[in-house]
A and B are shown apart, each in its own frame.
Chain A
Amino acid sequence: MVEKTPILDIFTYVFLITGIIIVGFPVIYAIIAATLPIEDVCRVPMPLIPGDQFWVNIKAAWEKGNLGTNLLNSFIMASGITIGKISVSLLGAFSIVYFDYRFRTLAFVSVFCTLMLPVEVRILPTYEMAANVLGPFQKLWTVLNLDGVATWIAGHEIAVTLEWCILDSYTGLILPLVASATCTFLFRQFFLTIPEELCEAAKMDGASAMTFFRKILLPLSKTNIAALVVIEFVYGWNQYLWPLLITTNPKMTTAVIGLQHLIPAADDLPYWNEALAGALIVMLPPILVVLFMQRWFVKGLVDPDK
């Protein structure tokens, strides 16, 4: 420190500790609630001394929320979104930054406009889309009366149905959420900071575009990729409305939805102990990811040029 200010230092630590406790309190309290039997949770105020029902509640939550399957689904969905988003946008950003072509600006702007469009705002039409990804082509086909054309050419009745339904599948859980400009934007910004000499040198050595991408760009982007892995994993894991809408098969449900089954509804018994036990389980994986990858996460988030 610049100067010795012991009183301020003490304050600092006191405030910090208070701050940490306040930030952590909701979860601490949830942990206590998760250890209590139902009668104690219903009592007002709820006792602050932990009970011994923790594993009982965890087990109940696990079974009622079908968390075994659901956690796996969440994991697949979150990983799929993460991998999908990062690879799609790495390639996209590479194309936008390192090539010069006619529609480059158009491509960038059209992707960029979708930067922060939340899924909820466009969810109904997106659902219709997922029910038949080929829907627009089908519509075009109908509008152009291509059935008629085909019938005329072939000389007999032809009816073409274009259908690809991705409801109730991992594809459906993942693909619509892969569409995102955030990663593309970040990679673009990052690529722009990479010294041009690198590219020049690579070209001199006769490296092809893809070699440059693989050998130089990818290794340089490691920190950014790591940060995005954290962010996208958390994002994918925490999805709620989309998986709820498109999965009808209980085997395809995700953990956050499974948790929804545990939250006491208005005419339910207040099983808060189990609900909070479930909440703890469900929020654990993304928290662990954030904590373990903290260093890269912060680095990539705050200064991607390092």
Chain B
Amino acid sequence: MKVRKLLIVIAVAVSLVFLAGQVMAAPTTINWWHAMKGARGKVVDNMIKAFNDSQPDYVVVGTYKGNYDETINAGVAAYRAKKQPHILQCFEVGTQTMMLSGAIYPVYKLMKDEGYNIDWKGYLQPVLSYYMNANGDLMSMPFNSSTPVMYYNVDLFKKAGIPMLDKTKPVTWDELGEITAKLVKSGVPGGMVTGWQSWTQVENYSAIHNIAFASKANGYEGLDCELLINNPTVVKHIAMLKDWFDDKRFLYGGQKFQGPKAEFIAQNAGVYIDSISGIAKLKKAVKDFKWDVAPMPVESWMKKPQNSIIGGASLWVFEGHDKKDYKGVAAFMKHLGRQDMQIYWHKETGYFPITLAAYEQLMKDGYYKEQPYQEVGIKELTRRIPTKISRGLRLGYFIQIRNIINEELELVWNDTKTPQEAMDNAVKRSNKQLREFEKIYK
């Protein structure tokens, strides 16, 4: 009798616990590791909050995991330890590694599986194409995308008697040579500076002039690709920059830690080539002169310059989570692509809105009338349909390769190597990396 009573009590208790579990089912947590700090981090937090407030089932937790390198590393380490987040922000040079990793759930598939029918045509194609596989399927969701543009110091230009630049039609490199010469003559310590030299002066230079950066359509069509940046056009461009460097028309500001930007802000250089996403920040930092934005320069022989290519990062979804989690991930991806989110993101950070609809809405609202700077990058990026060569780069160990290019360029600037030697060596060293990478996936 007693035993039975006890059993009943236990049964009731168990079922109570069970019911409670049913009723108070906690929302599923979706982890997102990103590399956005400071003002951008805040914008990310707000976008997350908007999602979390909009529905009860999922809670997205965004975590800053350091800069891009550290974030991808954290992702790798976590995956190996089977503790991967659902979403990982990974910079564009890591695309190949992520794509081949076998650790990801391709975004196009995720969205299809979860029943979202997304018209990818409504997205900015030069952005999407960077993250598509050979079949044109989108592997990761573009998140923050930018492209290089040319900032210039209006006051210094006036002082040197240089007319202002057009916002759509690029100047030629020859013209920029004259401009920087005038700047130097008028007493500016250096003509131009550039951030991320490999990205702006080699990768984008090649894309804009429709020159292959690597064989096999820049690596899109096979791991057995080789670098081609020791071609005469690129070498000539580097040689030209070296000449400029020697007569101070080009000032080298280093790779990291504010170098180039600080030179521009300090008015040590009148022209500054860097990502379009720098606009918001320059606005805040520059108080004592006026500046403006123009598209990247183009060689005079290039009558129809191609689109520039993007930099930035995309969001990768890791495999290995519960089915119900992915429902939330997909919903969140959808949320990030929403028009209002894209407009907010663009306005606050300067990164591109990735949907055409958001872009058109912004145009309709007259945003670009108020903020003419912002549109320069979008126009430069979308001025032509991307070719196989200008759609992007798909290289293994690209992080090392970019590092190699930066190193070799530095050796040109400091007179250790001629441009041809440096580019030959960069190709040689990079090809070695590419072969190593290829072996892994054989």
The answer to whether the Cβ of B284 comes within 8 Å of any Cβ in the partner chain is yes
Take A128-B80, A250-B63, A261-B37 as given contacts and tell me if A269 and B31 are in contact as well, using a CB distance cutoff of 8 Å.
no
9-residue interface stretch from A6-14, A152-160, A206-214, A241-249: A241-249
Contacts of A127 on B, CB cut-off 8 Å?
77, 80-81
The answer to whether the Cβ of A3 comes within 8 Å of any Cβ in the partner chain is no
Q: Are B33 and A267 in contact (CB under 8 A)?
A: no
Assembled-state Cα–Cα distance A29/B46 (Å)? 36
The answer to whether the Cβ of A97 comes within 8 Å of any Cβ in the partner chain is no
9-residue interface stretch from B151-159, B200-208, B220-228, B260-268: B260-268
Q: Are A128 and B63 in contact (CB under 8 A)?
A: no
Q: Are B38 and A64 in contact (CB under 8 A)?
A: yes
Q: Are A265 and B83 in contact (CB under 8 A)?
A: no
Contacts of A269 on B, CB cut-off 8 Å?
38, 281, 284-285
Take A127-B77, A128-B80, A267-B278 as given contacts and tell me if A38 and B285 are in contact as well, using a CB distance cutoff of 8 Å.
yes
> Which A residues, 118 to 135, have Cβ-Cβ distances below 8 Å to chain B?
124, 127-128, 130-132
Number of A-B contacts defined by CB within 8 Å = 83
The answer to whether the Cβ of B277 comes within 8 Å of any Cβ in the partner chain is yes
**Pick the contact of A244 from B66, B255, B266 — CB < 8 Å?**
B66
Q: Are B274 and A248 in contact (CB under 8 A)?
A: no
Q: Are A245 and B265 in contact (CB under 8 A)?
A: no
A 130-162 binary contact with B (CB < 8 Å = 1; else 0):
111000000000000000000000000000000
Assembled-state Cα–Cα distance A268/B282 (Å)? 9
Minimum distance in angstroms from B424 CB to a CB of chain A: 28
Minimum distance in angstroms from A186 CB to a CB of chain B: 32
- B283 nearest CB neighbor, chain A only: A269
Q: Are B83 and A167 in contact (CB under 8 A)?
A: yes
Q: Are A267 and B275 in contact (CB under 8 A)?
A: yes
A 233-275 binary contact with B (CB < 8 Å = 1; else 0):
0000000000011001110000000001100111111100000
Give chain B's interface residues, CB within 8 Å of chain A. 31, 33, 37-38, 41, 63-67, 70, 73-74, 77-78, 80-83, 85, 195-196, 255-259, 261-262, 265-266, 268, 274-275, 277-278, 281, 284-285, 287
- Listed by A's residue number, 21 A-B pairs whose Cβ atoms lie within 8 Å are A42-B265, A43-B266, A44-B266, A124-B77, A127-B77, A127-B80, A131-B82, A131-B83, A245-B77, A248-B31, A250-B64, A261-B38, A261-B64, A265-B67, A265-B256, A266-B255, A266-B258, A266-B259, A267-B275, A270-B262, A270-B285
16 new A-B contacts at CB < 8 Å, known A42-B285, A245-B77, A261-B41 = A124-B77, A131-B83, A244-B66, A248-B33, A248-B65, A248-B74, A261-B64, A264-B257, A266-B255, A266-B261, A267-B195, A267-B275, A268-B281, A269-B38, A269-B281, A270-B285
